[in-house]
């Protein structure tokens, strides 16, 4: 009987914006090791047939909600632990890298490249490395050079996260059993777009990703993947990419070139997933629309400070515009604002009896941009413990419930609203710090607008002060010919 394959699993998973003043520290991460790490993967319990006769060795996995750039000390500690574990438990036949691909670390401009270089220095050149990534990650030349298989999600919103990790693991096992290092080809596509222009629910991203199964089914191709890239980090690696891997060098290079050309050819067709406007424009439309029951609840995404993309989660701009509306203050429109993070504000009022009058400054502590901390005067409506947000409160001002949380979180699920006593379908208007609506909210929404609000993940990327991007890149530059040559390996 052949000896089982030995495959290490680990990685650091975060999407972090260099334009957000938030610093992602060790406290923001959930770290798993040992059996808890193996338990992440449902294809291991019970093991799928392809995953048996493999020693899966958990190394370390650290994961956080998107945020600002990562504290370099936290990053170095985890990197060291990963390397130490690999030395201790090695040698290995392969490694599954479970990463996002858009981790910014203060002082580094290719964090995943740094991590994989360090991992290679310990693993040696022989083991195969397979990376499972988010399509909002970036593929730097260094990351590509040190991995043998790379793939990413094929849907946004991401509903194929676990399928992707399983595919990356299965392709790794298959390649090791074949005993042939895969051929690979990378085409960088000089396009940088906000995620909210590239939802696979709509064209052209839907059609672009729909080409993958046909191309992947060809002889000699193992996997093809398209990265949209990450627009909110000012790093040379941030741009679109296509990678194909395969058992035949020509078929692999052709697959990457073909998808890269389709991506580039579609560049002018990308547009926002929902109608957009300033916060005031969106409120004008929404406050008229809420008269029509079919359009309720009307959703507005406060997209520039979306914690799901790396925003600080405490910019008060949209809330201030909302509170300026008489229909909100006089209670003729019932609305929810979800949410602001402010642990101090929560601590000041959460122990008061429900119904108490409160007067408290909220938000604007991490990202103090205009208008900064805002005074809320209302009544304490609800207090709850949320698994993500910690202790949370709802403060009622006129017709508006303002949610304030102790930790950064995103109100992407209806159950989080219910914890603070709100059934979304019973209100007229929901303003939420998010980009495109996650599936539950999308299904609940009578209608929806994307407000191009200011913040660390401003969707109007032409307003961002980039200095280090590789140029030219569309749409910041428009009049140039793209070099879509495949880099192969």
Binding site for Zn ion (CB under 5 A): 134, 136
Q: What is the DSSP letter of 351?
A: T
How far is it, in rounded angstroms, from Cα 50 to Cα 38?
A: 16
Q: Which of residues 65 and 322 has its CB atom nearest to Zn ion in the complex? A: 65
- Identity of the residue, 134 or 386, whose beta carbon is nearer to Zn ion in the bound complex: 134
The closest alpha carbon to 382, from 420, 413, 416, belongs to: 420
Nearer to Zn ion, 127 or 137 (CB): 137
279 near 318, Cβ under 8 Å? yes
What residue is closest to Zn ion based on CB? 136
- What SS3 class is residue 313? coil
Q: How far is the CB of 20 from Zn ion (least distance, A)?
A: 16
Coil, strand or helix at 488? strand
Nearer to Zn ion, 134 or 428 (CB): 134
Considering the complex, state which of residue 155 and residue 247 has its C-beta at the smaller distance from Zn ion. 155
- From CA 136, how far away is CA 148, in angstroms rounded? 20
When the beta carbons of 175 and 309 are compared against Zn ion, the nearer one is 309
Phi then psi for residue 89, to 5 deg, are -95, -5
User: What are residue 178's phi and psi, to 5 degrees?
Assistant: -70, -30
Ramachandran region of residue 78, left (φ > 0), alpha (ψ -120 to 50) or beta? alpha
Distance between CA 171 and CA 177 in Å, rounded?
10
Nearer to Zn ion, 436 or 448 (CB): 436
The residue among 153, 198, 175 whose CA lies nearest residue 13 is 153
Q: Whole-number minimum distance, CB 16 to Zn ion, in Å?
A: 12
Reported as half-sphere exposure (CB side, CA atoms, 13 A), residue 424 has a value of 24
Q: How many other CB atoms sit within 10 Å of the CB of residue 247?
A: 17
- In whole angstroms, give the CA distance from residue 435 to residue 442: 11
* DSSP letter (8 states) at residue 200: T
CB of 136 to Zn ion, least distance (A): 4
CA 322, CA 399: separation in Å to the nearest integer? 11
Q: Residue 59 or residue 457: which is nearer to Zn ion going by CB?
A: 457
């Amino acid at each position: 009987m052949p000896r089982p394959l030995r495959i290490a699993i680990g990685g650091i998973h975060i999407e972090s914006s260099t334009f957000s003043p938030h610093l992602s520290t060790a406290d923001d991460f959930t770290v798993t090791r040992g059996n808890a790490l193996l338990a992440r993967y449902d294809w291991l319990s019970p093991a799928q047939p392809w995953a048996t006769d493999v020693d899966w060795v958990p190394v370390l996995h650290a994961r956080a909600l998107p945020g600002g750039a990562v504290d370099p000390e936290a990053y170095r500690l985890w990197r060291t632990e990963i390397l130490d574990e690999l030395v201790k438990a090695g040698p290995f036949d392969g490694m599954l890298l479970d990463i996002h691909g858009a981790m910014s670390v203060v002082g580094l401009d290719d964090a995943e490249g740094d991590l994989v270089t360090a991992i290679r220095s310990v693993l040696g050149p022989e083991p195969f490395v397979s990376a499972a990534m988010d399509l909002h990650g970036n593929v730097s030349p260094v990351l590509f050079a040190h991995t043998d298989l790379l793939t990413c999600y094929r849907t946004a919103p991401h509903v194929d996260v676990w399928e992707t990790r399983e595919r990356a693991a299965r392709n790794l096992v298959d390649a090791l059993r074949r005993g042939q290092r895969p051929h690979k080809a990378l085409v960088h596509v000089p396009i940088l777009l906000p995620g909210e222009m590239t939802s696979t629910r709509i064209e052209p991203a839907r059609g672009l990703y729909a080409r993958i199964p046909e191309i992947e089914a060809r002889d000699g191709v193992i996997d093809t993947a398209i990265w949209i890239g990450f627009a909110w980090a000012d790093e040379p690696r941030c741009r679109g990419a296509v990678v194909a891997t395969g058992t035949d060098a020509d078929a692999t290079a052709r697959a990457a070139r073909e998808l890269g050309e389709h991506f580039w050819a579609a560049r002018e067709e990308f547009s926002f997933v929902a109608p957009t406007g300033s916060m005031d424009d969106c409120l004008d439309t929404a406050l008229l629309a809420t008269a029509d029951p079919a359009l309720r609840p009307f959703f507005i995404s406060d997209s520039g400070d979306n914690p799901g993309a790396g925003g600080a989660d405490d910019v008060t701009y949209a809330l201030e515009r909302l509170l300026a509306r008489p229909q909100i203050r006089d209670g003729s429109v019932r609305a929810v604002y979800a949410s602001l993070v402010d642990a101090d504000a929560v601590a000041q009022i959460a122990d008061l009896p429900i119904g108490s009058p409160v007067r408290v400054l909220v938000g604007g502590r991490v990202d103090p941009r205009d208008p900064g901390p805002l005074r809320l005067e209302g009544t304490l409506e609800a207090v709850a413990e949320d698994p993500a947000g910690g202790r949370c409160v709802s403060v009622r001002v006129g017709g508006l419930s303002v949610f304030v949380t102790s930790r950064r979180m995103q109100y992407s699920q209806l159950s989080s609203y219910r914890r603070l006593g709100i059934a979304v379908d019973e209100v007229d208007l929901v303003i939420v710090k998010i980009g495109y609506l996650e599936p539950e909210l999308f299904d609940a929404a009578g209608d929806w607008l994307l407000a191009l609000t200011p913040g660390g993940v401003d969707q109007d990327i032409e307003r961002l002060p980039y200095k280090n991007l590789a140029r030219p890149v569309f749409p910041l530059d428009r009049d140039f010919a793209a070099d879509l040559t495949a880099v192969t390996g």
